[in-house]
Amino acid sequence: MALSKKPVKGMKDVMPDEMRIRNYVMNLIKETYGAYGFTQIETPCVENIENLTNKQGGENEKLIFKILKRGDKLKLAQAKEEADLVDSGLRYDLTVPLSRYYSNHSSELQSPFKALQMGNVWRADQPQRGRFRQFMQCDIDILGEASNLAEIELILATSQVLGKLNFKNFNIRINDRRMLKAMAAYAGFEEKDYDSIFILLDKMDKIGIDGVKECLINDGYDKAGSEKYLDLFAKLEGNDNPIGFLADTLGDFLPAECKTNLEEITFAVNSAKAADFNLVFDPTLVRGMSYYTGTIFEVELKEFNSSCGGGGRYDKMIGKFTGQDTPACGFSIGFERIITILLENNFKIPETGSHIAYLIEKGVPTDKLAEILNEAKKLREEGNTVLVVRMNKNKKFQKEQLSQAGYQEFKEVFKN
């Protein structure tokens, strides 16, 4: 039977033109985040299964690519449950591995620690536009900073990357998990039901207030409580001060610092932003991960009708490893979705220097070839991209292909 030429479902081969754009964007991300003091690290692709299934990853824990035990440890005949077969899995995000990494190395790292991670993650999800089963994530996290300076820096840095890629007038939506919980408590819902209620709330943009109300009642939640809950959102429409309104309405259900926190972040970001975007308070913003404890945010690009990045504060996760909570906040840029948009818009990499191709005819003497190679070396030292290749029989087609790859100048070298 012939081997399959196609990649596994949900994964893809990257062609040279796309790879050039991917490398350009990755370098831009590293350069921009580096200017903010973030230090690049790397964690393994494989994590201990107990770390990945600790009930903090939300729906992603159902999408783990699990790895069987190896060698003598794998005893299929005696296995009675999954734990007898599986001891690790491919990481589904970079936050869980970072928390383990920091827990293991905190004594060797400066505090607060500003981490930059870029790497592939895996989820057994249904593939669609901009969503794959293997995909690149680019995360920045600040560990050990309890104040909202962390959120401010993360939003400013991430928005600046998007601005450098020519995205304009985009939204970064912001909310706080404490606000979500206070609104649910005000309506009379029990704490054990919060996550289920938030899942329904997350559908607000697709099914509207009436749709969410119907779902809540159909799921058995009190009608009066559901109406009281959704009435909060209805009263926010057109309100010039939604954060202040909610703080006044929710009273003791909402920690006093929550209002101040959101207002300070909004003021600071709007005062110092380097990109054309709007920071928008959105009380329906949920974010799927259960590990978020405070501020949450999400990037919304008009070119993509779904999230193109997000993050938030997760002050309890590192404590799962060490027994002592550590302030932590992170922002993940939607790398694959951004690349999808750039490709669809025929994005061109800003060029520096010339792209020159030497086409060498077969039979050119060695001394003449050495002369060409030294000439190419000098041009590269001057900042140019120089390709030295053999001349094909179909020279016209060869030049067309190279032109599509960005080469503007051709030097033909003949044996005579």
Q: Mean of the pLDDT values across residues 356-364?
A: 93
Residue 96 CB-density burial (10 A; 0-12 exposed, 13-18 middle, 19+ buried): buried
Same domain (yes/no): 81, 119: yes
The model's pLDDT over 31-51, given as tens digits with 9 standing for 90+, comes to 999 999 999 999 999 999 999
In the chain, the N- to C-terminal Cα span, in Å, equals 50
Same domain (yes/no): 53, 123: yes
**Does residue 387 sit within a domain?**
yes
3-state secondary structure of 126: coil
Same domain (yes/no): 366, 346: no
The most distant pair of C-alpha atoms in the chain lies apart, rounded to whole Å, by 92
State the pLDDT confidence band at 130, using cuts at 50, 70 and 90: confident
> Percent of the chain scored above 90 by pLDDT?
76
**Does residue 223 sit within a domain?**
no
Same domain (yes/no): 319, 402: no
Same domain (yes/no): 41, 130: yes
Q: Mean of the pLDDT values across residues 252-265?
A: 95
Please report, for the domain that includes residue 55, its CATH number: 3.30.930.10
Q: How many domains, in total, are found in the chain?
A: 2
Asked whether the predicted pLDDT for residue 99 surpasses 70, the reply is: yes
Same domain (yes/no): 23, 53: yes
Looking at 182-191, 298-307, 313-322, which range is the least confident one? 298-307
Same domain (yes/no): 60, 104: yes
**Does residue 252 sit within a domain?**
no
335-344 vs 16-35: helix crossing angle, rounded to 10? 130
Between 304 and 261, the more confident residue is 261
3-state secondary structure of 234: helix
Distances (CA, A) of 302 to 299, 306, 341: 10, 9, 10
Asked whether the predicted pLDDT for residue 128 surpasses 90, the reply is: no
What's the whole-number average pLDDT of the chain? 92
Asked whether the predicted pLDDT for residue 312 surpasses 80, the reply is: yes
Q: How far apart are CA 87 and CA 295, in angstroms?
A: 33
pLDDT at residue 79 in the model: 67
pTM, 2 dp? 0.88
Q: How far apart are CA 297 and CA 246, in angstroms?
A: 18
**Does residue 328 sit within a domain?**
yes
**Does residue 386 sit within a domain?**
yes
Looking at 130-134, 172-176, 230-234, 374-378, which range is the least confident one? 130-134
**Does residue 80 sit within a domain?**
yes
Which of 350, 371, 388 delimits the end of a domain?
A: 350
State the pLDDT confidence band at 75, using cuts at 50, 70 and 90: confident
194-201 vs 177-186: helix crossing angle, rounded to 10? 100
Same domain (yes/no): 360, 346: no
Q: How far apart are CA 283 and CA 286, in angstroms?
A: 8
**Does residue 197 sit within a domain?**
no
Range of the domain at 387: 355-413
Same domain (yes/no): 327, 396: no
Q: How far apart are CA 313 and CA 294, in angstroms?
A: 5
Same domain (yes/no): 30, 64: yes
**Does residue 212 sit within a domain?**
no
The model's pLDDT over 138-182, given as tens digits with 9 standing for 90+, comes to 999 999 999 999 999 999 999 999 999 999 999 999 999 999 999
The alpha carbons of the chain give a radius of gyration, in whole angstroms, of 26
331, 154 Cβ separation under 8 angstroms: yes
Same domain (yes/no): 126, 86: yes
pLDDT at residue 289 in the model: 66
Same domain (yes/no): 310, 402: no
